[in-house]
Amino acid sequence: MDIEELKGSDNITILKDQAIETFRDFSITSNKLTNLLAESASQKKENFFKEFEYFFLENGFALEKLTKKSWVARYRDVEVFLNDNTPSNNEPEAYLQLEIPSKKVYSNIEITVKSDVSERIYWKHNIENHGQILNKANFSKEINKISNSEELEGLIKKIIENDSWYKNTIKNYADITFVYKEYNGFEEFNSFEEYFKYLKPNA
């Protein structure tokens, strides 16, 4: 057996172990950021409910809570329905639906990070093995498939940079702002009133 090949195989094993451990550390950092984002999205959603209530009460509507996750504001024959469609799996975003049937207004609302800071909550680099994105479920298996030391070293570098990127986002989390916007839309709103004035009847 070639001694250099033997030494190289040992180095590959060390690099694989290092990559796996580095990804575990990154997963911990990622979880911390996800929890912060989920908490902020939840708080912004609660603000939306309060603003919805305040806006319509101030404008002479009567409010009724229909279920745990749905409300209606009424004024004579006009009804404005609000439904909370947010999944209960700690997602870093929230989803609501507002309907005014008599005016043919149907709007899906996304509560998400403001676009000018949104890049900070995503990976700096894709971490993948030949097109397979690494995640919490498959990272160990995918890393163990790699038998090239340069690939492993490059992967470790990307994971470390992603970890530093997320840690910096956490450190400067006060800069992360959540806004309201229509789902798949581009306009962003800081308040319910801004959003409501933007609404138009559906075609």
Q: What share of residues in the chain are helix, strand, coil (percent, to 5)?
A: 50, 20, 25
Which residue shows structure tokens 């745990």? 68
CB 36 within 8 A of CB 26: no
Single pTM value for the model: 0.86
Q: Which of 3-12, 21-30, 78-87, 184-193 has the lowest mean pLDDT?
A: 3-12
| Alpha carbon separation from 88 to 18, 62, 92 (Å, rounded) | 35, 29, 11
DSSP three-state, residue 172: coil
User: Which residues share a beta bridge with 74?
Assistant: 62, 79
What is the CB-side half-sphere exposure of residue 187 using CA atoms within 13 A? 13
- What is the arithmetic mean of pLDDT over 153-175? 97
Record the tokens describing residue 2, joined without a space: 């070639």
- Packed helices 149-171 and 3-58: angle between N→C axes, nearest 10 degrees: 30
d(CA 180, CA 114): 9
Q: Which of 66, 58, 105 is nearest to 84 (CA)?
A: 66
The pLDDT, as a whole number, for residue 3 is: 30
Which pLDDT value is given to residue 200? 86
Q: What is the predicted pLDDT for the residue at 2?
A: 42
Whether residue 128 has pLDDT greater than 70: yes
What's the rounded Cα separation, in Å, for the pair 182 and 53?
Answer: 19
Q: What percent of the chain has pLDDT over 90?
A: 80
